[in-house]
Homo-oligomer: A and B are copies of this chain.
Amino acid sequence: MSQKYWEDFDLGFSFKTPSITVTETHVVNWAGLTMDFYPLHMDAEFAAKTPFKERIAHGPLIFGMAVGMAGLAKVEGGSIIAWMGVDNMRMHAPVKIGDTITVHIETIEKRETKKESQGIQIWKYSVRNQRSEVVMSFNMNFLMHRKPSGQ
């Protein structure tokens, strides 16, 4: 795969990732790894009495998986120097055990930096379930390589 640069991703550039089914195993392993045993995720009796009616996946799990799935898509092609942060992470709908998620990613902002060899892009991640409902969205800020002059 050839090296890519800040210049290769125009405003409005978009792609989607492979999909994955969020299983009970993801939820239980997540809880153990991150120490988050909030009963809405781990206690089926409790969850049955909430408006959700059943255990739902942790929001940060969906975030973590979305970040990983974007990498699996292998689209950025070495252009990213560093992950600078996340803004505006919002949960729009619950992800239930057994839902299948896909991430739709779009370049929503790009700007140059003082350093000529680098640029910044903001990619909006929208996680959708199997009914195409957006369940979570967030904006990732990336520092990227600019194309060396002469190329």
Q: Which A residues are closer than 8 A to B by beta carbons? A: 18-21, 23-26, 28-39, 42-46, 55, 59-61, 63-65, 67-69, 71-72, 74, 83-91, 98, 100, 130, 138
Contacts and interface: CB of A to CB of B under 8 A. Distances in A.
A85 B74 contact: no
Contact of A72 (B37, B60, B64): B37
A72 B45 CA distance: 18
Given A45-B130, A63-B63, 17 more contacts: A19-B39, A20-B35, A20-B39, A21-B43, A21-B55, A23-B28, A25-B28, A29-B29, A36-B68, A43-B100, A44-B98, A45-B100, A60-B63, A61-B64, A64-B64, A83-B91, A85-B89
14 contacts: A19-B43, A20-B42, A21-B42, A29-B32, A30-B64, A35-B35, A36-B67, A37-B68, A44-B100, A60-B64, A61-B64, A85-B89, A87-B88, A89-B89
Contacts of A91: 83-85
Contacts of A20: 35, 37, 39, 42-43
Contacts of A25: 24-25, 28-29
Given A64-B30, A64-B33, A71 B24 contact: no
